[in-house]
Structure 1
Amino acid sequence: MNIKYIKLIIFVVVLLLISAAVVFIESSLDNINESMPAISDGIVQGDKDYNESVELLNSRDFEQSREKAISAGDNYNNSLQKLEGIREKYDKDLNEVHKDYIDTTINELKLKLKAVDELKEAIYYLEIYYNYTGSTHGTEANDLMYSSLKYQNERNEIVQENPDLFT
């Protein structure tokens, strides 16, 4: 075979491999970007359900409060699972900004899930008139949600500083 012909074949193969890699990376980022609105919506709905649960608890509507707390936990957990899936599946394709966003959001969601667990405990104990224990769990839930605001603010800051990465 002619050496020029071999070089041409090698060049074409390398070009095809590079093109495939670019397409794969682009499709990975497209998948990530497509998932982000659902993740964000899950967090927003979880926050809404959590706040409604607290309001219902303050009104002593324990059953509805419990249902909203469960819904908040489900929303947070769904978003957490999606983020962890993205981190596992696309870790090598993520840039540092996306990694920071995902890690920050995972930390936020873990705190919010702990807060939901504490809220459920508060509901349980207040329902059976163990007011001190219920209030203690309610205070802990509030403290955890307050702590999660640090991560929520970091997450929002990452998006604001990088609008081209979060469409």
Structure 2
Amino acid sequence: MDSINKSMPDISDAIVNGDNDYNEAVLLVNGKSFNDAMDKANSAGDNYNNSLNKLKNIQNKFSSDINDIQEDYIDIVIRELELKIDAVNNLKEAIDCFKVYSNYTGTNYASQANDLMYEATQYQNESNAIVNNNSDLFKQQNFVI
């Protein structure tokens, strides 16, 4: 459990950094700074993938050390990250389209990215609810993202 608890802040930080990078990428796209937007989108994807890999490692190596609530929590955060990675990939496609003035197709990719990110926030809300409803479990063990 100590190993898991030590990993959680890094996982959380990477998700927060990914969210910040994604939001900056969107702002840069809106400002037509496509190269900078792509850099931020790539960074967001790297952060999300880093967190996803660490969570899957915890899931695979330590499943016997966590209880059902924690397992549900990890499953939900993994789903959130998978959606965010899909959103980043769609945003990158949008950026590529906008670079070559294929605005209709770019807008479709951007819209899909937005829908995926919205769906990801639903999972984020669900994981937050698990933490709030089981605060003793999560605070006691520092097992929270």
Could you give the per-residue CA deviations for residues 31-68 of structure 1, whole angstroms, max 9, x where no partner exists?
11111111111111100000000000000000100000
Shift of 1:163: 2.2
Identity percentage of aligned residues? 55
Residue 4 of structure 2: aligned partner: 32
Shift of 1:119: 0.1
Residue 77 of structure 1: aligned partner: 49
Shift of 1:158: 1.3
Supply the AA of the counterpart residue of 1:126: F
Could you give the per-residue CA deviations for residues 106-130 of structure 1, whole angstroms, max 9, x where no partner exists?
0000000000000000000001000
The answer as to 2:76 corresponding to 1:104 is: yes
Whole-Å separation in 1 of the counterparts to 2:13 and 2:73: 16
> TM-score scaled to structure 1, two decimals?
0.81
> TM-score scaled to structure 2, two decimals?
0.94
The structure that has the greater radius of gyration is 1
Tell me which of 115, 119, 123 is aligned to 2:87: 115
Tell me which of 39, 61, 70 is aligned to 1:89: 61
Residue 131 of structure 2: aligned partner: 159
Structure 2: which 5+ residue stretches go unaligned? none
Residue 66 of structure 1: aligned partner: 38
Structure 1: which 5+ residue stretches go unaligned? 1-28
Residue 138 of structure 1: aligned partner: 110
Residue 13 of structure 2: aligned partner: 41
- Greater RCO structure (CA 8 Å; 6+ sep): 2
Supply the AA of the counterpart residue of 1:140: Q
Could you say what the CA RMSD is over the residues aligned between the two structures, in angstroms?
Answer: 0.8
User: How many residue pairs were aligned?
Assistant: 139
Whole-Å separation in 1 of the counterparts to 2:136 and 2:62: 19
